[in-house]
Amino acid sequence: MGTEIERKFLLRTFDYPKNNGVAYRQGYLPTEKGTTVRIRTCGGVGFITIKGATVGLSRKEYEYPIPLADANEMLSSLCVGHIVEKVRYRVRQDGAIWEVDEFQGENKGLVVAEVELSSADQRVILPDWVGEDVSSDPRYTNLALSQTPYRYWNK
């Protein structure tokens, strides 16, 4: 069993070190009781991910590779809401691996940085380009962005 513990931030500046980004497409299957089932493609591979309800900064997470053709078919025929499209950049800084997501499509204009933690109380050194902590704001979850994309927010 896996557990995901992460913090999520908006960017203060876009001066983060860019490397080769990977394009992601993901959608969500209907669920109940705070669970999430995500279908994702990235780097020519498909994945299905099942996540439990979030408690604090953590939640149970199970992820498995699936055939790319199956993932694409599920994205086009089974997922509800909008497909979330983004380019992800992995940035190593001060002993942490940051995932910076530049959203495309319906969420274009939104850029979010996430860092996974080994414990909820782990200390994180914030790079200069990291800004406001939005870990507790449910609007910034990818599931929420599939339901109410960033372009429809009253900013």
pTM: predicted TM-score of the whole model, two decimal places: 0.89
Give me the amino acid identity at 89: Y
- In this prediction, the residues of the chain whose per-residue pLDDT falls under 70 are 1, 155
Distances (CA, A) of 43 to 10, 47, 65: 25, 11, 12
Question: Does 28 participate in catalysis according to the annotation?
Answer: yes
Catalytic residue among 28, 62, 89, 140: 28
- CATH architecture group of domain 2-152: Beta Barrel (2.40)
- The string of pLDDT tens digits covering residues 39-51 is 999 989 999 999 9
Q: How far apart are CA 35 and CA 100, in angstroms?
A: 24
